[in-house]
Structure 1
C-alpha cells in the first residue's frame, strides 16, 4: 500500500534517490526517541557529488537553490530509511541547517537554502515548515556547493 507521502512524491514527479552511504566515520542518521538527526547531505547524484564549486562563481543563486533541492531529496531519502520506508511516520521537519560554499561577499545564502526548505513544504505540507539556519563558508567537504543537515520528528 502506498502511503500519503509516497503518493505526494509521485504526484510531484519526484523519485527519491537511494540513501547515500556515509563518506567517513559517522552514520547517515541517528534516531533518538522520536527525533531523526540526519547528517549533512551534500548533492550526491548517482553515487557521486554532482555539484562542486562555489555559489557566486560556478553557480548562480538560482542554480544554488537547485543544488539545495538535491540535498533536500537526499535528506528525505535518509529519513525514509530511518522510518523503515514509511514517510507517513514524519510528524514534523523540525530544523534544517544549510551551508553554502560561496565566494567572499555573497549574501544570498537564505535564497539558496530555500531550495531545500521549499521542497520540504511541497512534500510534507505544513509538517514541512521548519526552523533553520543558512550560512556561507569558504569550503565544504569534497568541494560540494551546498550541504544541509536536518532534524525530523517521527512517530
Structure 2
C-alpha cells in the first residue's frame, strides 16, 4: 500500500495537513467510483500561505507554488477518503485551476502547471489528467489560486 506521506517524503516534500473548515459543504464526496474534491486553497494547517492577485503582488513562481499546495491539499482529502491507500486511485480524471489574476496577466496555464506537476509526481501516470485553467476576477479570501479535482477510484 502506497501512502500519501510516503510519496511526499520520496520527492522531498512535507505531507499536507488540512483542518476541515466549518462550511456547509464537504471537502470530498464519493459517488460510486468517482470522488469530487472541493476547491482547495493554499493553506497549511489553519494558515493561508499566500494572499493576493497573480501578476499584482504575487509572482508567477509564488502562484505555481500556491497551485502545488492546493493540489497537495486535494491529495490530503483524497488520501483521507481512501483511508491512506493511494493504490486505490485509478486516475485523476479532471482538474480545474482557478487563478486570481490581475488585469493583463495571461500565464494562467503556467500557474496551473504547479498543480498538474504535483499530481504527476505523486501518482505517476495515474496523475495525468484533463485540465482547465481559468483566470478569475477574485477568489475566496483573496487567495491567488484554487484547485478542485475529479478522481476515479476503486
Contact 2:98 2:145 in 1 (8 A): yes
The range that moved more, 109-118 or 4-13, is 4-13
How many angstroms apart in 1 are the aligned matches of 2:148 and 2:102? 21
How many angstroms apart in 2 are the aligned matches of 1:90 and 1:72? 15
1:38 aligned residue: 37
TM-score for the superposition, normalised by structure 2: 0.94
How many angstroms apart in 1 are the aligned matches of 2:13 and 2:85? 16
Contact 1:20 1:78 in 2 (8 A): no
Give 5+ residue unaligned stretches, structure 1: none
Contact 1:67 1:145 in 2 (8 A): yes
How many angstroms apart in 2 are the aligned matches of 1:108 and 1:20? 31
Contact 2:18 2:44 in 1 (8 A): no
2:146 aligned residue: 147
1:38-70 CA distance string (max 9 Å, x none): 000000112122111000011111211011000
How many angstroms apart in 2 are the aligned matches of 1:25 and 1:4? 29
TM-score for the superposition, normalised by structure 1: 0.93
The secondary structure found in structure 1 opposite 2:26 is: coil
How many angstroms apart in 2 are the aligned matches of 1:50 and 1:5? 21
1:55-100 CA distance string (max 9 Å, x none): 0011111211011000011010010011012111111011110100
Query: Deviation at 1:23?
Result: 4.7
1:24 aligned residue: 23
Contact 1:19 1:81 in 2 (8 A): no
Query: Deviation at 1:24?
Result: 2.0
2:107 aligned residue: 108
1:14-49 CA distance string (max 9 Å, x none): 232224313521000101111110000000112122
Q: CA RMSD in A?
A: 1.5
How many angstroms apart in 1 are the aligned matches of 2:112 and 2:87? 24
Alpha-carbon spacing, 1:55–1:23, altered in 2? closer, same or farther (3 Å): farther
The range that moved more, 16-25 or 85-94, is 16-25
